[in-house]
């Protein structure tokens, strides 16, 4: 089956309360760290990778973000907009965009990667 969109295991949560979030997921839930950089930490949950991204309070407002990949991000973006989705965030230097679907779910659309 050839699908235009496919999901990843990645879920990202932006937080301005960085230290407290790291303590919660790392110590309270005891999730192992799978990835770490200055502003992003990924925890392995078993079913998905939960990424915490350090952010400013104004950037943390849309809750958890799932990820879908598509071979042509621009075409996928247009298809989703035509279907009633709205752009939450876009960065022209990266081939990706955060979209809110008509039912309130926010997800990232990025380019299909070769795994």
pTM over 0.85: no
Q: CA 87 to CA 108: how far, in whole Å? A: 10
Asked if 21 and 13 touch (Cβ cutoff 8 Å), the reply is yes
Residue 97: φ, ψ to 5°: -155, 150
What does DSSP assign to residue 32? P
pLDDT tens, residue by residue, 37-83: 999 999 999 999 999 999 877 666 778 999 999 999 889 999 999 99
Domains of the chain: 6-111 (3.10.180.10)
Alpha helix segments (H runs only) across the chain: 18-23, 73-82
- Number of alpha carbons in the 13 Å side-chain half-sphere of residue 18: 12
């Amino acid at each position: 089956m050839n699908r235009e969109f496919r999901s990843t295991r990645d879920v990202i949560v932006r937080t301005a309360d960085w230290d407290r979030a790291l303590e919660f997921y790392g110590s309270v839930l005891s999730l192992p760290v799978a990835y770490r950089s200055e502003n992003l930490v990924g925890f392995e949950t078993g079913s998905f990778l939960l990424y915490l991204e350090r952010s400013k309070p104004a950037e943390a407002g849309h809750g958890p973000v799932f990820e879908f990949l598509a071979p042509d991000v621009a075409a996928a973006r247009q298809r989703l907009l035509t279907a009633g989705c709205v752009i939450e965030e876009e960065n022209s230097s990266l081939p990706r965009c955060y979209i809110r679907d008509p039912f309130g779910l926010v997800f990232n659309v990025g380019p299909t990667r070769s795994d």
